[in-house]
Chain A
Amino acid sequence: MTALRVALAGNPNVGKTSLFNELTGARHKVGNYAGVTVETRAGAVVARHGPARPITVLDLPGTYSLTPTAEDEAVAFRCLTGAEGQPPDVVALVLDAANLARNLYLAVQLLELGRPLVVALNMMDVAAEAGMPVDPAALSRALGAPVVPTVARTGEGIGRLVEALGSIDHVPQDSSERPPLRARVLADAADPEAPPGTPPVRWRWLVSAAAAGSLDLACPDAGERAALAAIDPATLTAAAHARVIARYREVDAVLAEIGFTAAQRERAPAMSRSAAIDRVLTHRVWGLLIFVLVMATIFSSIFTWAEPIMGAIESLIGWLSEQVTAAFGSGVFTDLLTQGVLAGAGNVLVFVPQIALLFLLLGLLEDSGYMARAAFLVDRLMARVGLHGRAFVPLLSGYACAIPAILGTRTITDPRDRLATILMIPFMSCSARLPIYVLFISALFPAEDRVGPFTVGSLMLVGFYALSTASALAAGAIWKRTVLRGPTPPFVLELPPYRLPRLRNTLLHVYDRTADFVRQAGTVILAMTIVLWVLLSFPRPPEAPAPGRAVPAAVDLQVDPAPASDVAEDMSDGASEHASSDISQEPADDSPIVHSIGGKIGLALEPVLAPMGQDFRMGIAILGSFAAREVMISTLGLVYGIEADDENQTPLREALREAREPDGSRRHTPLKGLAAMIFFVYACQCMSTLAVVRRETRSWRWPLLMFATMSTLAYALAVLVYQVGRALGYT
Chain B
Amino acid sequence: MAFNLAQLELGARARVTLVGGGGSLALRLLEMGFTPGTVVVLIKRAPFGDPLELQVRGCHVSLRKAEAARIEAVPL
A residues with CB within 8 A of B: 64-65, 67, 69-70, 98-102, 105, 208, 211-214, 233-234, 237, 240-241, 244-245, 248, 265-271, 274-275, 278, 282-285, 287-288, 372, 375-377, 379-381, 383, 487, 490-496
Contact = CB atoms under 8 A, between A and B. Distances in A.
Nearest to A287: B47
Given A266-B55, A492-B62, 8 more contacts: A64-B31, A265-B57, A268-B55, A268-B60, A379-B50, A379-B64, A493-B62, A494-B32
Interface of B: 19, 22-33, 35-36, 38-39, 41, 43-44, 46-51, 53, 55-64, 67
Contacts of B47: 282-285, 287-288, 377, 380
A275 to B, nearest CB: 7
B35 A494 contact: no
Contacts, number: 144
Contacts of B19: 241
13 contacts: A64-B32, A67-B31, A102-B56, A237-B22, A241-B26, A244-B30, A377-B47, A379-B46, A380-B48, A381-B48, A487-B25, A490-B29, A496-B60
A494 B24 CA distance: 17
B30 to A, nearest CB: 4
Contacts of B25: 487, 490, 492
Nearest to B66: A488
A494 B50 CA distance: 15
What's the dominant secondary structure at chain B's contact region? mixed
Contacts of A491: 51, 62-64, 67
B55 to A, nearest CB: 6
A288 B46 CA distance: 10
B27 A494 contact: no
B61 A65 contact: no
Shortest beta-carbon contacts, A-B, top 6 = A380-B48, A237-B22, A284-B47, A212-B24, A101-B57, A244-B30
A375 to B, nearest CB: 8
A59 B59 CA distance: 24
A69 B32 CA distance: 13
Contacts of B24: 69-70, 212-214, 487, 490
Contact of B28 (A234, A271, A283, A490): A490
Contacts of A379: 46, 50-51, 62, 64
Nearest to A389: B51
Contacts of B23: 211-213, 237, 487
Contacts of B63: 491-492
Contacts of A105: 31, 33
A512 to B, nearest CB: 28
A275 B43 contact: yes
Nearest to A241: B30
